[in-house]
C-alpha cells in the first residue's frame, strides 16, 4: 500500500484549500496513492497523530473545500530543530509516516514552511529513508523567491484593491473629506500594499501615496507630502504597509506592539495607520483623519477571491502529485509566468533550500523616486492575478463553506 499525506502551515489564505483539492483530484485521476491523508494543524498536529483520511470523504464534500477560505486542515507555526542537533522529532515523525505507509509528504506553506520541507528532505536523505518531501506554495505576502507569485496573493490583492475603491468613494462624499489611511499586511515586503495601485477610476489611480517596507520611511517627509497634497485637493488617500521602517530599520508601529514576536522570531505588527493618524493630527495638517486596518480579511475574503488565484492554487496541488509520482523530492512547486497578455502560467520545481527563509522584495524600479508610490510595472504585474470571480455555492443567501476539523 502506498499513501500520501498533506498538511498546511503558517497564515491561511482564501485559496489554500484549493491546493488540497488539487492533490485529491490529481490522485483520483492517476490512482497512484491508495489514500490521501491530511495532517490536522500541520507538523505540530501530525506529531500528535491528529490525522484524517480525505479518501474516506465524499467527493462533494471535498469539492466544497475548494471554495472554502482559511486553512481547512488547520495550521501551525512550528519550527523544527536542526536534526544534526536533535533528531527526536524527526524520528517520531518518520515513525508516524511509516505506520501510515506514507510514500510522499506534501506541505503547503510559505518561507518558514519551506524551511520544514528542506529540513525533512535533508533528513530522509541523510537517514536513507524512502519518503518524498515536496512543498506547495501559499502566502498572501507574495514574498517567496524564484516563483513569479504565490497562491493567495491574487485574491488578497483583489480584496485590497476593491476595498480601496469602495472606501475611497465612501470618503469622498463631503465638501471637506479629510485624510483616509488604509493599513495592509506585509512585515518585510510591500506586495500587498502595492496592489492598491489597481484601484482606479476612469483609468486613473485613486491612491495618492503608497508606503512600502522596501523604502525607509521618514516621518518628516510623510507629513510634508500629505500636507502639500491636502492643500491641493482637500482630500488625501493613503495605503501603507504594516511593516514600514525608519532609516535605522525600526518598525514605525513598534510603539503599538510591545515588541511581541512569533515562534519564528518575527515581530507581530499592526496599528501603524493609527501612528500615522496621530502624527498628522499633532502636526496640524487636519483633525479629519480616518483609518482602516484591513487585518485578517485580506487572507480569508473568499467572497472577493480571484478565480485565477483559485485555479493556480489548484494547479500547483495537482503538479505536486505529478512530480511526486516522478520521484521528485526536496522541491517546492513554483509558478512561472509564461505570458502576461494574454496571461499564461505553468508549474515548475524550485529547490526548497533556495526558498526557505529567503525573501523576494518588490523591484526597486517599481517604486517611484520619491518612495511614496509605485510605477506602472506594479500595476501590470498584479492585474492578471485578480481576474475572474469564482462560482461559490450559497446556502440561505450566504456562501456555503465546510469545516473538516
Chunk the chain into consecutive blocks of 10 residues (it has 405) and report each block's average pLDDT, rounded to whole numbers: 96 98 98 98 98 97 96 96 95 98 98 96 97 98 98 98 98 95 96 98 97 98 98 97 96 63 50 96 96 97 97 98 98 98 97 96 98 98 98 94 89
Length of the chain: 405
Has residue 378 been placed in a domain? no
In this predicted model, what pLDDT tens digit does every residue of 254-277 receive, in sequence order?
854 444 444 444 444 569 999 999
- Residues 162 and 293 placed together within one structural domain of the fold: yes
Has residue 202 been placed in a domain? yes
- Residues 48 and 112 placed together within one structural domain of the fold: yes
In this predicted model, what pLDDT tens digit does every residue of 220-263 receive, in sequence order?
999 999 999 999 999 999 999 999 999 999 999 985 444 444 44
Residue 405 pLDDT:
76
- Residues 169 and 291 placed together within one structural domain of the fold: yes
Structural domain containing residue 219: 153-300
Has residue 373 been placed in a domain? no
In this predicted model, what pLDDT tens digit does every residue of 75-99 receive, in sequence order?
999 999 999 999 999 999 999 999 9
- Residues 39 and 106 placed together within one structural domain of the fold: yes
Last residue within a domain, chosen from 284, 300, 316: 300
**pTM for the whole structure:** 0.95
Q: How far apart are CA 21 and CA 120, in angstroms?
A: 24
> How many structural domains does the chain have?
2
- Residues 49 and 157 placed together within one structural domain of the fold: no
Residue 235 pLDDT:
97
Residue 256 pLDDT:
45
- Residues 285 and 187 placed together within one structural domain of the fold: yes
Residue 260 pLDDT:
45
Catalytic residues: 141
Last residue within a domain, chosen from 263, 279, 300: 300
- Residues 158 and 292 placed together within one structural domain of the fold: yes
| Percentage of the chain exceeding pLDDT 70 | 96
Amino acid at each position: 500500500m502506498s499513501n500520501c499525506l498533506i498538511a498546511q502551515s503558517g497564515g491561511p489564505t482564501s485559496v489554500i484549500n484549493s491546493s488540497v483539492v488539487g492533490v485529491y483530484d490529481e490522485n483520483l485521476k492517476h490512482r497512484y496513492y491508495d489514500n490521501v491523508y491530511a495532517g490536522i494543524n500541520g507538523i505540530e498536529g501530525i506529531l500528535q497523530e491528529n490525522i484524517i483520511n480525505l479518501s474516506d470523504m465524499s467527493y462533494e464534500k471535498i469539492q466544497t473545500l475548494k471554495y472554502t477560505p482559511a486553512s481547512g486542515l488547520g495550521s501551525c507555526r512550528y519550527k523544527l530543530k536542526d536534526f544534526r542537533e536533535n533528531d527526536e522529532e524527526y524520528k517520531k515523525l518518520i515513525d508516524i509516516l511509516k505506520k501510515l505507509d506514507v510514500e510522499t509528504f506534501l506541505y503547503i506553506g510559505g518561507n518558514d514552511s519551506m524551511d520544514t520541507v528542506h529540513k525533512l528532505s535533508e533528513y530522509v536523505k541523510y537517514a536513507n529513508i524512502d519518503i518524498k518531501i515536496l512543498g506547495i506554495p501559499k502566502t498572501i505576502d507574495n514574498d517567496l523567491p524564484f516563483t513569479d507569485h504565490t497562491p493567495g496573493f491574487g485574491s488578497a490583492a483583489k480584496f485590497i484593491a476593491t476595498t480601496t475603491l469602495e472606501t475611497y468613494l465612501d470618503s469622498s462624499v463631503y465638501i471637506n473629506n479629510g485624510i483616509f489611511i488604509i493599513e495592509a499586511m506585509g512585515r518585510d515586503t510591500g506586495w500587498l500594499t502595492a496592489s492598491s495601485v489597481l484601484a482606479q477610476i476612469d483609468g486613473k489611480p485613486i491612491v495618492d501615496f503608497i508606503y512600502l517596507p522596501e523604502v525607509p520611511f521618514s516621518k518628516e517627509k510623510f507629513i510634508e507630502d500629505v500636507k502639500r497634497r491636502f492643500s491641493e485637493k482637500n482630500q488625501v488617500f493613503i495605503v501603507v504597509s504594516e511593516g514600514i521602517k525608519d532609516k535605522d530599520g525600526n518598525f514605525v508601529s513598534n510603539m503599538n506592539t510591545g515588541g511581541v514576536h512569533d515562534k519564528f522570531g518575527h515581530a507581530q505588527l499592526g496599528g501603524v495607520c493609527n501612528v500615522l493618524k496621530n502624527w498628522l493630527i499633532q502636526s496640524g495638517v487636519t483633525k479629519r483623519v480616518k483609518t482602516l486596518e484591513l487585518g485578517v480579511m485580506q487572507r480569508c475574503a473568499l467572497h472577493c477571491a480571484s478565480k485565477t488565484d483559485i485555479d493556480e492554487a489548484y494547479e500547483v496541488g495537482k503538479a505536486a502529485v505529478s512530480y511526486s509520482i516522478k520521484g521528485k523530492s526536496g522541491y517546492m512547486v513554483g509558478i512561472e509566468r509564461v505570458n502576461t497578455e494574454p496571461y499564461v502560467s505553468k508549474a515548475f520545481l524550485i529547490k526548497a533550500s533556495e526558498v526557505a527563509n529567503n525573501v523576494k522584495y518588490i523591484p526597486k524600479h517599481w517604486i517611484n523616486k520619491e518612495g511614496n508610490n509605485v510605477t506602472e510595472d506594479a500595476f501590470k504585474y498584479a492585474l492578471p492575478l485578480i481576474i475572474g470571480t469564482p462560482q461559490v455555492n450559497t446556502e440561505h443567501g450566504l456562501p456555503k463553506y465546510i469545516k473538516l476539523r
